[in-house]
Structure 1
Amino acid sequence: MTHIRRHVPLLMRDGVRLSANVHFPDEGQGSAWPVIFATNPYSKDSWFGPRTTPHIERFTAAGYAVAVVDLRGSGGSEGDKADAFERVEAHDVYDSILAIANEEWSDGNIVAWGLSYGGITALKAGASAPAPLRAVVAIEGSTDPYEYEVARNGSVGLAMITAEWSTLMLGLLALPSDNPWLSDEELRRRIENLRPWHDAWLQHPYRDAYWQGREVDPRSITVPTLIFTGWRDTNVVGAWHDFERLNGPKRIVCGPWAHGMPEDQSEEPVDSVAMAIDWFDQHVKGLVTPLSAHPKVSAYIMGADKWRFSNAETQYTYSDESQFMLGDGTLLTPGVSETKRLEVAFDATVGTSSGFGFAAEPGNRRHDQQRSVVFTSPPVEEELDLVARPSLDLQLSAPDSDVDIVANLYDLAPDGTATFVSRAFRRLSNLPPYTGNSRVDESGTRPLHVAIDFDPVNFRLHEGHQIQLTLSAADFPERWPNVNGAGYEVLVGGETPSLLRLRSSDFSTEICDQHRLPLANLRGENSLVKEFQWLKVSQELDSSEVRIAGSRMSIGATLGDEPIQLSHFYEISAEPKEPSLTVLTTNTLVRAGVGARTRTVSASCRVTPQASSTSLSVTGPNFEDPLIHQYLLNLEDQDAQEMG
């Protein structure tokens, strides 16, 4: 166990003090070290710190001090955290790095590292460019919280963003800290100013003034930057977008992973901590390391179960393009044929087979297929390596201006097994750049051309396999079903047919057997907390309602050696033809400490397309009486009320 100095105050430019835990290498290695800086709102003492103890200890064993800083308004820091991705975070990241560089235990060389929200702040560190910053490692983060985190493709998230994350964060942020210099008055004021993050997002579904300044330009990042992402992660588009635009030394590793640490993945887990240490050693200590000669891109080929390596500046380079014309249930070589209109009926429950959130990878597609329009190609005659972003050029009839176009690609094996490849989404009332603009012909007299890109792929389609495309009008539960409940017609055949475009490349010159990524041999061992998750999807074919229930539990100890328990439950339900009846309910309980030092937070949320209601209760030795707050947001008239 490394030596820890807890609750080190860092002074920001506006006088707010942020709280840092500093983990030091073993005594005797030196009095000043290069420092790994990590900051997020997940509590360095109660949740993030205990969960990442094994990783931090490996960093300190490599000769780095690690400073984990609570963002303002979270954990032991002063200030408010009533919102996510606040503009002030860029200033706080910059000021924190300068403050750490001036500490006696720092040698003045700082690097930034982080996962998810911490990956976002690490990239903000790179963009703010404080002089002591030497390198960045960002895992599952991005530079644009609107487009790549909260409202991907212009639609606010449901399962991952709201059910699994925003509602849980309310409980974490309200937990009183054991920081001795954080006053009870400051804690009370902070809790009183807390608001559910998703309330603001539901009020600002478009890229309006609320979102401006929360993003950073990846082209401004010139420090060496290493990015980790996964083909099953929901923000893989943002990771590749950022990698393309970085203006310094860069590298990206993209595995077959969902959201989370590469070490914790079920398939091809990679030792990202070893690679981060290697990256820092190169750019802080000037060492020639085992990975120094690795190419810029390490990308796992889904379907081939191997890695490819290249020095390409982009994922979107391809050598060939195949076009398939959408027919009546078929994908064919383009040619002249009779024009037909295929109805894509609205069903709010479609989407569960393409995976969602932290908890579920793609699964059984039977439910979705029966509620979608399906197109299948003939078997491919030779192996096809799909790369870049597949795309659709659709000719539609969509008289309603608020319609969702959802597409999924599958690899259909000869035995009937279907493997999810990629998804695409477009909300016609909020087209890029997502400012609420629409190009729909509401008279319905003219076909509407809609171009949609799928998420990027790196997928091998084997000889004899078929490509399968599904079209629907909902992506539940990853996104809120459109309350208009409108479908559309897709026009197939004719002189201007609807087309699927697939890009491919020859990987044979890029797969380099001499390169190896370090495989992980650590999956949460020695962490101070144990975590459990479960998920249940109820969707009987003869029943109208689809119900999804999920849970996350953590049991263990804080860095202050207090017992802590967190439980978070959520349930989402939807009716096929009644999107206005979609309901999310969550309950979160956090308890830390023993005896008179016990602090407890209870939070419950209920969100529908019409309203969001929240109840929050906080008890502990910091307050004579429980703090109880209730909030109600009427989304139909955008009226927010505090009820107590």
Structure 2
Amino acid sequence: MYRRKTFLTLLAGLAGLCVLVFTAFAAKADTASAADYVRQSLYVPVRDGTRLAVNIYRPAVDGQAMTAKHPVVFVFTPYRARFRNDKGEVVETALNDQLALQSLVRAGYVVAVADIRGKGASFGHRRGFQDRTEAYDGYDLVEWLARQTYTTGAVGMIGCSYYGGTTFHTASTAPPSLKAVFIGASDLDKYNFVRAGGITAQFNTRPDEPLSVDLASLPVDADPDGNLLRQAVAQHAQNTPMGPLWYGMPNRDSMSAYTGNAYWEEVGVYNYLDAIRKAGIATYFWSNWQDEPTAQTLLGAKNLGGKFLGGPGSHCVPPPGFDFTGEITRYFDHYLKGIDNGIEREPRATYWVEGLDGRGGYVRSDQLPGVRSQTLSWFLTGDRSGTAQSANDGGMAAKAAAAGKDTFTVDYDLPPPEYFAFWPQPMDKHGLSYTSPAMESPLTLIGSPVAHLAVTASHPEADIFVYLDQVAADGSAEVVAFGRLKISHRKLSPPPYDNFGLPWHSGRSADILPLAEGEVVQMSIALTPVSRVVPAGARLRLTVTGADPRQRNLKDIKLEPAPRITVLLGGAEASRLDLPHAQ
């Protein structure tokens, strides 16, 4: 660990930062040996009698379970705790080290992995997704694990993506035995994640899996012929379908036809923050910059005071160049075993800065990323001299130019995305773009950019998507941040939680604003957070479109005729981009 003068020079004035060089990411643990653990699988009934499949891995020596009691790390998953893949190989979540689970068994933890109701080998059906039923199932399993004779009674939870959410929701029920959680890529506000700006996109809208997927689960020990497994999976046919549930609730206060209530409120963890605080549960939040949930993960850390880790890369990928396994182990060692290893005295945030020193590196700070950044405003202009990359490309400048406007017709003829396109591709060929001059010196951006657009549209329900690209000197480009907002959802409201002072749109039916013909409206759109140094010679480009290929239901919701959207430039209604400049 040492300080790099070049970085301190680059980020002069950004208080609270110190730089780390981490050892290379710990190599994936050796294939688990049966001598390292003793596994047990069984059904555990929760409060309504539903039997959930629980798999328990106890530390062992030479195949014999240790007699000492150990704390528990619990994983609550919809992705099947144990199953056979299409090659006939047995896959066990607890024996994969992506979340350090295998290493935790070896470090003296009981690791428990349970299938949520309606998935894997568990009985029951899903009323919804990460609802209060599921949350209290987690509560019951935490307390059941704490009562077992081979545990110390201290329980932690870990997960990423959906089962980062089950971890977060279980914490919101405040089980007395739950002492610490490690939450990856999960949301604080599900409406503002799944339907950001009133628009659904990639996450949580994929088709539901066929029952054959759950039938590939391994039966529990007392079910050698799989009869109970088949009975359990038969109940999964009653699961609420995921995509239709989300599509059917356009507003935050919409009543769900599936659940009979304002379901977004039920699954918004922000409604239960006080319970987590009062319980004193330690929190650690993790996500990667090339991953849409990162904004929500930062909100979790902001509102609960927890630690934050931001890595490079995509969804739930262990951060390279960082001892992820060691960090998880030290965290649980402190909060579940009571070991004074200093982790609670270390800086609160650790995060990757892309392009740092020309390559990229981690920094540590007592402040969450972006808190110390200052706003740098660039105004969109119609000037196409010197910066234009195409006929639809305007410019960006430090001062507003003369009044003008640009108009485009929404392009719905978009290339199909990958099945899981966690990150968008540049969209400059499908709307309007505004490109800055080449950077004369490196520009450090840490935090969330905000696009302030003055627009009018030919349809009152038109959608607006914005993308911030970094364009290299050779013309190659990558999306570094993006956001979206339906025109009718443009009203700004005070948020019910701390959101770093960014624009917040409630999405409630009373806040939906009609758009009169020819009316010019102001739209403020927060983009996903960035953490990078834009090198000298590169440009930044803001693209505005009316559709995104990651909208799974695009063919069903596209408007006819395609809307014409106008962006106003300069004058009293100057559209601009606010950048989070770390000076």
* Pairwise TM-score range, normalised by the shorter structure: 0.7 to 0.9
Correspondence 1:16-31 to 2 at 5 A: 16-26=50-60, 27=64, 29-31=66-68
Match of 1:307 in 2: 362
Match of 1:50 in 2: 92
SS of equivalent to 1:467? strand
Structure 1's unaligned 5+ residue stretches are: 507-644
Match of 2:76 in 1: 39
Does the 8 Å CA contact 1:109/1:134 hold for their aligned counterparts? yes
1:59 aligns with 2:104: yes
Select 1:487's aligned residue among 538, 542, 564.
564
Correspondence 1:609-628 to 2 at 5 A: none
| Identity among equivalent pairs (%) | 24
Shift of the 167–72 alpha-carbon distance from structure 1 to 2, 3 Å rule, reads: closer
Shift of the 417–497 alpha-carbon distance from structure 1 to 2, 3 Å rule, reads: same
Does the 8 Å CA contact 2:466/2:543 hold for their aligned counterparts? yes
Q: CA deviation at 1:34?
A: 0.5
1:380 aligns with 2:445: no
Match of 2:529 in 1: 456
Partners in 2 of 1:464 and 1:311 — Cα distance? 32
Match of 1:156 in 2: 200
Partners in 1 of 2:164 and 2:180 — Cα distance? 13
Deviations 1:94-152 (A, max 9, x none): 1111111111111111111112111111112322221111111112222333322x333
Select 1:318's aligned residue among 360, 372, 395.
372
Select 1:257's aligned residue among 313, 320, 324.
313
1:340 aligns with 2:404: yes
SS of equivalent to 1:241? helix
Q: CA deviation at 1:461?
A: 1.4
Q: CA deviation at 1:195?
A: 4.6
1:428 aligns with 2:487: yes
SS of equivalent to 1:157? coil
Correspondence 1:278-289 to 2 at 5 A: 278-289=330-341
Shift of the 184–37 alpha-carbon distance from structure 1 to 2, 3 Å rule, reads: closer
Shift of the 19–425 alpha-carbon distance from structure 1 to 2, 3 Å rule, reads: same
Q: CA deviation at 1:356?
A: 6.7
TM-score normalised over the length of structure 1: 0.71
Match of 1:599 in 2: none
Does the 8 Å CA contact 1:400/1:440 hold for their aligned counterparts? no
Partners in 1 of 2:156 and 2:210 — Cα distance? 26
Which amino acid is 2:550 matched to?
P
SS of equivalent to 2:200? coil
Shift of the 153–6 alpha-carbon distance from structure 1 to 2, 3 Å rule, reads: farther
Which amino acid is 1:280 matched to?
F
Q: CA deviation at 1:271?
A: 3.9
1:235 aligns with 2:269: no
Partners in 2 of 1:475 and 1:344 — Cα distance? 15
Match of 1:471 in 2: 544
Moved over 6 A (4+): none
TM-score normalised over the length of structure 2: 0.78
Deviations 1:507-550 (A, max 9, x none): xxxxxxxxxxxxxxxxxxxxxxxxxxxxxxxxxxxxxxxxxxxx
SS of equivalent to 2:204? helix
SS of equivalent to 1:161? coil
Structure with more relative contact order (C-alpha pairs < 8 Å, separation 6 or more): 2
Does the 8 Å CA contact 1:42/1:172 hold for their aligned counterparts? no
Correspondence 1:330-409 to 2 at 5 A: 330-337=395-402, 339-350=403-414, 358=420, 361=423, 363=425, 365=426, 368-409=427-468
Partners in 2 of 1:190 and 1:458 — Cα distance? 45
Partners in 2 of 1:101 and 1:502 — Cα distance? 48
Match of 2:577 in 1: 500
SS of equivalent to 1:119? helix
1:212 aligns with 2:265: yes
SS of equivalent to 2:175? coil
Does the 8 Å CA contact 1:7/1:76 hold for their aligned counterparts? no
Shift of the 441–153 alpha-carbon distance from structure 1 to 2, 3 Å rule, reads: closer
Which amino acid is 1:198 matched to?
G
Match of 2:515 in 1: 441
Larger helix fraction of residues: 2
Q: CA deviation at 1:73?
A: 2.0
Shift of the 434–497 alpha-carbon distance from structure 1 to 2, 3 Å rule, reads: same
Match of 1:5 in 2: 39
Does the 8 Å CA contact 1:83/1:197 hold for their aligned counterparts? yes
SS of equivalent to 2:572? coil
Which amino acid is 1:228 matched to?
W
Partners in 2 of 1:351 and 1:241 — Cα distance? 32
Partners in 2 of 1:395 and 1:187 — Cα distance? 54
Partners in 2 of 1:121 and 1:49 — Cα distance? 21
Partners in 2 of 1:202 and 1:479 — Cα distance? 11
SS of equivalent to 1:79? coil
Instruction: Give the paired residue count.
Output: 488
Does the 8 Å CA contact 1:422/1:455 hold for their aligned counterparts? yes
Does the 8 Å CA contact 1:126/1:133 hold for their aligned counterparts? yes
Q: CA deviation at 1:184?
A: 6.9
Select 2:144's aligned residue among 89, 92, 99.
99
Which amino acid is 1:262 matched to?
P
Does the 8 Å CA contact 1:491/1:497 hold for their aligned counterparts? yes
Which amino acid is 2:137 matched to?
D
SS of equivalent to 2:191? helix
